[in-house]
Structure 1
């Protein structure tokens, strides 16, 4: 069931909302990424284009944007190895090495100097153990909009962590993707809908286009 428009508008108040993109990096969702099936799905489904639309709208509405990137040192130090997924990742033809093009935010997602890029060397979650919680609190965040990949692992991790930390999670179902393609709607319906507000890209864009509260003061420049 679609969320109440007024309630969604309250949740998405730009002054207390942060937009999170998860692993929307060239080495994951790019055309030459390490996971061709996932990259093809996120593009064919329109999810990547919707993420780009959301980020652009967030910039216009003065909503803070965080980009969560997974990367590794060339020597692999600090990387997790306690799950099959991590071991499989080490054998992929494209490695998400610090400083490489693989860890740059993928086109067509726009990035501005006010965006923060949060990088992790370990684990599955873009939130837990990454410093994201402290950043969200410093921004006065109450609602976290979660986008990106994958619906198999990182997206539910981010949603669960956000909820456990006391934030309201909002998930635009057409701005996330996983494999196989039909897994994502099942995950949304049977899992994410139980703990997050599930909506669409257009609903979020419409909310941010409406007249909002007075424009918040200009934020000081932050080092990226």
Structure 2
């Protein structure tokens, strides 16, 4: 059965959200709860496997990262979360902003760096790049189910994109958040599937 909202290889893109060292690698983590969940679930390995297949089918791969300008210039501290991020080393050039070494950044991939805000589309070129590449459907992976993923998915839906979420390629900071968002929030905004079913449809 076709996955609702999933386009063809030529109209779909893979979005990997915030799979950077500071969020997902315990060695450089600025969020130990989240990086622990990522390791527990094997999220990085599953995203890498999905990306390899989709990339081979011609699906463009986007890596959304958060990296403040030096000194966090222009970064608001207008919420507890944005204020806490200003206390982390998540600035341009720091190892915490580099994509996790377990995820390939191929030459044709696009890295979209965000200098402010909490979601992938905010203040970035992501929407314009997707539209100019003829993308209509997004496969959204990465972290976290607490804020960045549901926020980015809402933004994608508001912009007219359809979204598919592979449930085995995302992580929240706690078991409770992970399960609640996957079961009760994302099905209202997207199709929740598995990476295996997405590969079967796009990677054949």
The TM-score by the shorter chain falls in which range? over 0.9
List aligned pairs for 1:156-195, cutoff 5 A: 156-195=150-189
Structure 2 counterpart SS, 1:144: strand
1:122 is aligned to 2:116: yes
CA contact (8 A) 1:15 1:140 kept: yes
List aligned pairs for 1:89-108, cutoff 5 A: 89-92=85-88, 95-108=89-102
Q: Which runs of 5+ in 2 are unaligned?
A: none
Aligned match for 2:21, one of 26, 29, 44: 26
Alignment coverage as a number of residue pairs: 203
Aligned counterpart, 1:16: 11
Aligned counterpart, 1:198: 192
Q: TM-score, normalised by structure 2?
A: 0.95
Structure 2 counterpart SS, 1:159: helix
1:56 is aligned to 2:52: yes
Q: Which runs of 5+ in 1 are unaligned?
A: 211-224
Aligned counterpart, 1:44: 40
Q: CA deviation at 1:47?
A: 1.6
Of the structure 1 ranges 178-187 and 65-74, higher mean CA displacement relative to structure 2 is found in 178-187
Structure 1 counterpart SS, 2:48: helix
Q: CA deviation at 1:7?
A: 4.0
Q: Which has the larger radius of gyration?
A: 1
